Amino acid sequence: MSPTVLITGMLLGVLQLAVGIAVGYWIAGSKKSASTTEDDRRRAQRLAGELRTLTADLSAEARRQGEQLERVDDRLQSESRALSISPEDNPLTALVSGVIREMLQANQQLQQRLMTAELEVESQAAEIAEHLHTAMTDPLTELPNRRAMDDHLSMRADAWRKHKTPYSVVMLDVDHFKQFNDTHGHAAGDEALKTIASALREALRQHDVVARYGGEEFALILPHTSLQTGQSAVHKAIQSVRATTVKVGGQSIPVTASAGLASIAAGERIESLMSRADQALYAAKQAGRNQAWLHDGAVTAPLSPPDSEPQAAVTPPELNADLKDACSALTDRLGSLLNPDSVGVGP
C-alpha cells in the first residue's frame, strides 16, 4: 500500500474520531448548561465547516491518487505490449501491476469511507444547526429567547464602549395576563403571546430585536437609538399591542401592554440599564397600565405624547445672488417710499 493511501487512511480515522468527540461534547454540553455563549456556538459551527472542508479535500486527494495509479497501470501495460511481451509473461510487469491493483482497490475503499464520512459530517452539522436554533429561540413565540437577548445586549454594549454607538432597551409586559389566563384558559394565553410577538415584530425596524424575556414579558433592543428617538419606537410598540385582539370562542378579546424605556449612559453596565428599564415599566404599571414610561438616568417619567415629539426644522431654500440683490434693492426702495423723511432732500 502506498504511503499516501496509508497516511490518508490514518487522517480519515482521526477525522471521524474528531467529529464524534467534538460534536458529541458540544451537544452534551448544550443540553446540560444554560450558559453556552455565542462564541461557543460559533466555534461549533466553524468546526463543522472545517471538518467538511477537510473531508472533501481528503476525498479529492484520494480520487487524484486513484487516477494517477490507473495511469501508471495503463502505461505499464502499454509498455509491455510495445515490447511485444504479454503482461502475463513478464514477471516484473505482473508484479508491479498486481501491486498497483491492490493500491487501486485500497484507494477505492478509502474513497468510499471518505464519502461516508462526508455524509456523517453533514448530518452532524445539521444537528448542530438544529441545536443552535433550539438553544436561542423561544419555542412558543419563535422569538429570540433570553439567552439570545443577552448575546445581543453584549454586542450592543461592545459597540457602545468602542464607538459610542447608542442603544436603548424596552421592557414590555402584557397587562393583566394572569387574569386573562384564568378567565380564558392557557391556550388562549399562549395565543395572545404569539399574536403580540408577531405584532411587535411587525411594528419595529428590521434590525431591532424583539425577545421573549419570560412569562408575559418581552424585551426590545433598539440599536442606534437614543432616549429621544426611542420614544417613537415605544409608542409604535404599545399601539401595535392595543390593535391586537385574541380570538377566544368566537369573541375578539382586546389586550394592552405597559412598557419601560431606558437608554445606555456613559460608564453604565448592562445590569444597570436593564434595572432602569424595569423601574420605568413598574412606574407605567403604577400609573394605570396601557402606557409607557422612561427612565432618564435620574427619574422616571411618562413618555411625551406622540404629537408633541419635536419636528425637524425646515430650512428655507437659499436664494441665488442676483435674486437676493434684487430683493434687497426692492426692500430699500419700498422703505424710501414709506418713509420719505428718511431720504435726503436737496436744496
Alpha-carbon span 294 to 285, nearest angstrom: 12
Whose cell is 442676483? That residue is 322
Alpha-carbon span 43 to 36, nearest angstrom: 11
Mean pLDDT of 206-235: 96
Q: Which helix (H) or strand (E) covers residue 16, if one does? A: helix 3-32
Number of neighbours of residue 3 by Cβ within 10 angstroms:
7
Active site residue 216: yes
Cβ-proximal residues to 121 (8 Å cutoff; 6+ apart), any chain: 19, 48, 51, 52, 55
Tens digit of each residue's pLDDT (9 = 90 or more) over 67-118: 776 776 676 667 666 555 555 555 655 656 666 677 767 777 777 777 777 7
User: Are the beta carbons of 241 and 196 closer than 8 angstroms?
Assistant: yes
Tens digit of each residue's pLDDT (9 = 90 or more) over 49-74: 777 677 777 777 777 777 776 776 67
Backbone angles phi, psi at 261, to 5 degrees: -115, 140
Task: Extract long-range pairs of 294-298: CB within 8 Å, 24+ residues apart.
Answer: 294/227, 294/230, 294/231, 294/234, 294/260, 294/261, 294/262, 295/260, 295/261, 295/262, 296/227, 297/265
Alpha-carbon span 98 to 100, nearest angstrom: 5
| Residue 50: strand pairing partners | none
Looking at every residue in the chain, the average pLDDT score rounds to: 77
Cβ-proximal residues to 181 (8 Å cutoff; 6+ apart), any chain: 188, 189
Mean pLDDT of 167-194: 96
Residue 229, C-alpha cell as written in the block: 428617538
Residue 243, C-alpha cell as written in the block: 390593535
Instruction: Provide the pLDDT for residue 344.
Output: 42
Helix segments in 83-215, DSSP class H: 91-136, 146-163, 177-184, 186-203
Alpha-carbon span 251 to 7, nearest angstrom: 71
Marked catalytic residue, from 70, 118, 216, 271: 216
Tens digit of each residue's pLDDT (9 = 90 or more) over 119-146: 777 777 677 666 666 788 999 999 999 9
